[in-house]
Amino acid sequence: MSGKKRASRFDDLIDAARSRQQRDDLPSVESKVDVKSKSTDPNYIRTTVYLPKQLHKRMKAAALLQDKQMSDVIAELVEQWLLTQS
């Protein structure tokens, strides 16, 4: 009798899951694109803005419909406001 133990069904499932995870973890072509996020871009600074909940919800929905980030919307509005201050 050999010393090798027969794998259980549970072991087979674990091995299959590991194989699947390794396959899914392969880098895709999209992940190789060097995209700088605002959080790592030195040209951006993080700030906190307090908005009423309903205004935040409406802004988030409108930004989503226009495929924009909320920070981009706020930056545009601040630029417009600054132009009126001179």
Alpha helices, DSSP H, located in the chain: 9-24, 53-65, 70-83
Hey, what are 40's tokens?
Answer: 């790592």
User: Is 29 a residue whose pLDDT tops 70?
Assistant: no
What is the domain partition of the chain in residue ranges? 48-86
Reported as a pLDDT band with limits 50, 70 and 90, residue 63 is very high
CA 33/CA 59 separation, integer angstroms? 29
Report the amino acid identity of residue 43.
N
User: For residue 34, what pLDDT band results from cuts at 50, 70 and 90?
Assistant: low
Side-chain-side CA neighbours of residue 65 (13 Å): 6
For the chain, the average pLDDT equals 84
Q: Is the pLDDT of residue 83 over 90?
A: yes
Higher pLDDT, 38 or 5: 38
Q: How many angstroms separate the CA atoms of 67 and 1, rounded?
A: 65
pTM over 0.75: no
Give me the CATH topology for the region 48-86: Arc Repressor Mutant (1.10.1220)
